[in-house]
Amino acid sequence: MDTQSATPGETNLTTLLATLKLTMSPETFVFITLPGLKLPPPSLQIQMSFREAEGTTIITTQDSADTCGIEYTFPCKMITLNVHSSLEAVGFMAAISTKLAENGIGVNPVSGYYHDHCFVPLGKENEAVKVLQDLATEAQKRIKT
93-123 exposure pattern, b = at least 16 Cβ within 10 A, e = fewer? bebbbebbeeeebebbbbeeeeebbbbbbee
Q: What's the start-to-end Cα distance of the chain, in Å?
A: 47
Q: How large is the average pLDDT for residues 13-20?
A: 92
pLDDT of residue 1: 60
Q: 19-54 pLDDT, tens per residue? A: 999 999 999 999 999 998 889 999 999 999 999 999
Q: 89-121 pLDDT, tens per residue? A: 889 999 999 999 999 999 999 998 889 999 999
Count other C-beta atoms under 10 Å from residue 37's C-beta.
Answer: 8
Average pLDDT, the chain: 93
Count other C-beta atoms under 10 Å from residue 9's C-beta.
Answer: 17
The set of residues, in sequence order, having a beta carbon less than 8 Å from that of 124 and lying 6+ positions away, is: 105, 106
pTM: 0.91
Residues 88 and 86: their CA atoms lie apart, in Å, by 5
Q: How large is the average pLDDT for residues 53-78?
A: 97
Which one has a higher pLDDT value, 145 or 123? 123
